[in-house]
Amino acid sequence: MEYSVGQTGRVIAARLFEGEDLYESIEQIATKEQVRCAAVLITGGFRKADVVVGPKQEEPKIEPDFRTFTGPGEAFGVGTIYCDDTGPKLHLHAAMGRGGQNLVGCPRGGAKTFLILEVTIVEIVGIEAGRKLDPATGWNLLRVG
Question: What are the structural domain ranges in the chain?
Answer: 7-144
Alpha-carbon span 53 to 118, nearest angstrom: 23
What CATH number has the domain spanning 7-144?
Answer: 3.30.1330.80
Percentage of the chain beyond pLDDT 90 is 88
Confidence of residue 58 (pLDDT cuts 50, 70, 90): confident
7-17 and 37-57 strand pairing: unpaired
Would you state the pLDDT for residue 145? Answer: 86
Q: pTM for the full model?
A: 0.94
> Would the pLDDT of 109 be above 80?
no
The predicted-structure confidence for 16-56, as pLDDT tens digits, reads as follows 999 999 999 999 999 999 999 999 999 999 999 999 999 99
Total residue count of the chain as it appears in this document: 145
